[in-house]
Homo-oligomer: A and B are copies of this chain.
Amino acid sequence: MLTAKLIGSVWSTRKAEQMLGLKLMIVEIIGGRNAGECMTVVDTIGAGTGDRVIVTTGSSARRMLGDDNIPVDAVIVGIIDEDCELPTCGE
């Protein structure tokens, strides 16, 4: 999984039927050499802009949605506790 920071939303009116009602957010990877990479993810647990989150990618992402037919490859699976100090990585 990746640790990332939620930085905003994406709006898409014309999208896959199976994705209607899903909230799409933009996250930026934090920590390590990949910091600064950007992804679009689905949020089903109510994360907000500024939150640090854990993102699962690939086929495992569909496991979060309870429907294997949704064409989604990245979801938020957890919100990192506010008082959690992440270990420094890649230094």
Contact = CB atoms under 8 A, between A and B. Distances in A.
Given A37-B90, A71-B63, A14 B45 contact: yes
Contact of A3 (B38, B45, B83): B38
Interface in A2-20: 2-3, 7-16, 18-19
B61 A11 contact: no
Nearest to A46: B14
Given A59-B59, A73-B57, A87-B26, A81 B38 contact: no
Given A77-B16, A78-B12, A79-B12, A38 B34 contact: yes
Contacts of A36: 32-33, 89-91
